[in-house]
A = this chain, B = another copy of it.
Amino acid sequence: MVATDTRRLSVFETMQPDLDRVTARVEEVAKLDYPLAAGIIGEIVRAGGKRLRPLLLLLSARAYDYDEAFERLVTAGAGVELLHIASLVHDDTVDKAQLRRGKPTLNSVLSTGATILMGDFLFAQSAMLAAATGHVAVVSVFASTLGHLCNGQLLEMFDGHRLDQPVESYERRIYGKTASFYAGSAEMGAILGGAPPSHLEELRAFGGDIGLGFQVLDDILDLSQETATIGKPAGNDLRQGTVTLPVLLYVQGIDRGSPEWKTVDDIVSGDITDDATIDHLTALVRASGAIAEATVTADAYIDRAKERLAILPDRETREMLEELADFFGNRTS
């Protein structure tokens, strides 16, 4: 007997046809004249992931003039996805990453110089898509989103290893490197859909909040999961010298200048690199309650995001955005 699938379609399933249009647009624009690079970038595009940014962009217009604005929404959605891909190309170069989504990175195959230029070329193509919406406010949000992203990553690079930072600095950093992109995607969608200004602001803030929740959870997973589950060594952020929320909360609970404090400091400044010490610190953070505390923070962001949706006129879209928030908050399984 064949089981009949009577469950409601997920937000991803419902939006799939529209997202496929976005993907087709990205593939069209990301074509490069250089066969080797074209192949690699084509693979990155197709490997794809969930297209969370275009999805949020589309959903942010869905309660308004969605149909009239549809072509421009697809264009803007392709723009944010391509901006995402361009920033991945540069990120992988910065991090000297060899694999992305299980495939060799551009920088693992080509010179640093070629990879920089190809990332720049993709930035240019993504900006052309933003301009092709014909909406100067969209371009403005687009450009400032790129500014936020770079600033967030620079903050992480220059200040991310400091143990004496307040939680606000951590928040500012993850807002820049992660949440600003979701805030911007929501805002672009709301602008193109013709949402009234108050809705636009709430949708932008919604995007920012789910982005913050998502990044805090990602930082928690890096410490709490076993290596086998996340496919990279636990404590990877520590190894890279990045102080995330759980570590920050942990050090706030110990004396500055104590041997424990010194050990954390030596790890994030790269003076200690041996696995045993890092694993031991990971265990200490897990045992300290810092992870539970960080989880409360992540949940609060997701809850705040969902509260913002009360303003939305359309119940179906509201439920889809709530579902998306839960997905970001890792509450789907």
Contact = CB atoms under 8 A, between A and B. Distances in A.
Copies in the complex: 2
Interface in A3-19: none
Contact of A143 (B116, B131, B151): B131
A106 interface: no
Q: Which of A119, A120, A121, A140 has the most CB of B within 10 A?
A: A120
Contacts of A140: 128, 131-132
A144 interface: yes
Nearest to A145: B124
Contact of A33 (B34, B114, B121, B151): B151
A295 interface: no
Nearest to A120: B150
A287 interface: no
Interface string A103-147: 000000000111011111101110110111011100110111011
B136 A134 contact: yes
A34 B150 CA distance: 12
Interface stretch (A51-59, A90-98, A186-194, A307-315): A90-98
Contacts of A112: 93-94, 112
Interface of A: 33-34, 87, 90, 93-95, 112-114, 116-121, 123-125, 127-128, 130-132, 134-136, 139-140, 142-144, 146-147, 149-151, 153-154, 157-158
20 contacts: A34-B158, A93-B112, A113-B157, A116-B119, A117-B154, A117-B157, A118-B150, A118-B154, A120-B149, A120-B150, A121-B154, A123-B146, A124-B147, A127-B127, A128-B144, A131-B139, A131-B142, A131-B143, A134-B136, A135-B136
